[in-house]
Amino acid sequence: MVLQVDHLVELLGLGSAAGPATNLKPGDPNPVFAVDTERGPWVIKTLRPAGPWWFDRARRAASLEQAALAAGVAMPGVAPTVPGERIGMWTPNGDGSFARALIRIDGSHPTVPLAPEVSRWVGATLAALEAVAPPVPGAWEETGYPTYSAPEWAEWLDEAHTLGVLSSAQVVDAVHLIADLNERVESGIARRPGLKVLHRDVSPVNVLLTENGPQLLDFDSAGPQVPWWEAVGHFFALASPDLGRIEPDRRSIDAAVAGYRDGGGEAGPAEPEAFTGRLAADLSYAAFLLWNACGHRGGDAAWHLRCAHGMRKSLRTLSSICTSAQRWSTWLR
């Protein structure tokens, strides 16, 4: 591991290591290292692409990250670039993997629901990103959140029941829920405003509270989304520690919406349609978890169980949003 990190330090032009590195994600196939060098403290991220689609996503993510850095969004700085080929912000490692470095900063992650002052910062930050985000001229399919037909879902749910992943009652509930979700998502997409490259992963682990204020981390999941839908989805996710079981904190939502509006964000209608982006993303992810739970993406029995639990939780959250969307949308005014 020491030799690997030394190689990455040299590859990324960080100078000489000033001490041993720490693997921040032990056991992960894409380790992340904290290392000090003569040029400062760094976080070195590594990644092995999961498929050809990653290359376009990495370039899009870089377009937003670079624009955000130039606009002064509160976020970690990046290592100065060194000569050579790059895919977005990532440098090839010579073995099919990629690496990148960011300045390491000290801080802690917030708890959920976010305190109003942190929520206000999130809203203002999303507005700032929206202002510099590159537009995406393509169709909704560019988001990577596909929708699936009722017959497709029926086949997968039937298999899940056969394998014991879902009970008969859970399958019946899921069929009705997915029909409702597909209708809501298709209606929202038909009327949606334009797409932009946005962060898409403003979660507690990607917000760092520092002595100089909050910082936004990890732009690697950035991609196409509707700005208002992105904002609303994050506001509600960050206002409840378990959306679907625990009611979102109204103070957190109000502060986030105020920060977004005051920051120049283009708020859309305060209607249930504002949840379309969250519904589409979560429904697509629920399908992915269902395939994994049924063993279609490899993994061991423990992984299948975790995916089954995550899939049931996703459906519960989606059901809660559908039930509450009319009432929650009035909080967006």
DSSP per-residue codes, 265-333? -----SSGGGGHHHHHHHHHHHHHHHHHHTTTT---HHHHHHHHHHHHHHHHHHHHHHHHHHHHHGGG-
CA proximity to 147, closest of 175, 171, 182: 182
pLDDT in tens, 160-216: 999 999 999 999 999 999 999 999 999 999 987 799 999 999 999 999 999 999 999
Amino acid, res. 260: Y
pTM (2 d.p.): 0.93
pLDDT in tens, 5-18: 999 999 999 998 88
Cβ–Cβ < 8 Å for 121, 259: yes
Alpha-carbon distance of 228 to 277, in angstroms, equals 9
CA proximity to 64, closest of 232, 224, 193, 222: 222
CA-to-CA separations, 92 to 8, 219, 239, in angstroms, rounded: 10, 18, 38
Rg (CA), the chain: 21
Q: Burial letters for 107-132: b for 16+ Cβ neighbours within 10 Å, e otherwise?
A: eeebebbbbbebbbbbbbbbbbbbbb
Predicted pLDDT at 297: 85
N-term to C-term CA, the chain: 53
Residue 3 confidence class, pLDDT cut points 50, 70, 90: low
Q: Report the percentage of the chain scoring pLDDT > 70.
A: 99
Q: How many CB atoms lie within 10 A of CB 319?
A: 17
Question: 7-10: long-range contacts (C-beta < 8 A, 24 or more apart)?
Answer: 7/93, 8/33, 8/44, 8/46, 8/93, 8/99, 8/101, 9/35, 9/37, 9/42, 9/44
Q: What domains are there in the chain, each with its CATH number?
A: 2-103 (3.30.200.20), 116-332 (3.90.1200.10)
Spatial neighbors of 269 by CB under 8 A, at least 6 apart, are none
pLDDT in tens, 27-44: 888 999 999 999 999 999
Q: DSSP secondary-structure letter at 79?
A: P
Predicted pLDDT at 89: 96
Alpha-carbon distance of 292 to 172, in angstroms, equals 20
| Three-class secondary structure of residue 113 per DSSP | coil
